[in-house]
Amino acid sequence: MRGREDDVSYSTKHTALSVRPAVIHDAEAILEIIQPYVDEDIVLPIPVYRLYERIRDFVVAEREGMIVGCGSLMIMWHDLAEIRSLAVRKGCQGGGVGRHIVDMLIDEAITLGISKVFALTYETTFFGRSGFDVVEKETLPHKVWKDCTHCARFTHCDEIPMARVLIPDEQRDPDHLLPPMPPPDPNLIMPQSKI
């Protein structure tokens, strides 16, 4: 993420909201916001050490000095990034916090030249309003190879993959196109059931 000069302020139906890159001192608030969703088995836990390693990937939404939401952008490949750990503090939902976080993460992806952003979610209506469409997991081999195969939910994942194209292929600079990742091993995409 960029420096603090990239703070973005919004007026919502409640009070002014500022979305900014996270700093190290935000880690405790991020964990506090995410934990109820971890407890409900909606969001995967983030070990504290991993949060510190990835703090530059996070943005936070702040209202009246309180962190009320967070989200991160994880670069998966030269043309692909994932919105992760998107959460709004319980009691603060419905005021546009999540939407403003997603908007800032998408702006960051565009600045980096990322052509597609995705999320694994249960909130399809929310992401749909931000221009995301449901896609097949098989279209995200980078995610499957990097993370999903290590997840306890791998064989029974019920999260819905959604993606948003930011830069269509025909608008991308051909000099900056890298070869695609090799086709995935089908056994890594969908484990074979043993009957």
CATH of domain 4-189: 3.40.630.30
pLDDT of residue 193: 45
Residue 163's pLDDT band, with cuts at 50, 70 and 90, is very high
More confident residue, 158 or 52: 52
Residue 4 has pLDDT above 50, yes or no: no
- Pairwise CA distance, residues 132 & 116, whole Å: 10
Give the whole-angstrom CA distance, residue 154 versus residue 144.
9
pLDDT of residue 139: 80
What is the model's pLDDT at position 132?
A: 97
Q: Phi, psi at residue 88, to the nearest 5°? A: -120, 135
User: Tens digit of pLDDT for each residue in 96-118?
Assistant: 999 999 999 999 999 999 999 99
Q: Which of 123-127, 157-161, 171-175 has the highest mean pLDDT?
A: 123-127
Which of 23, 24, 45 is CA-nearest to residue 33?
45
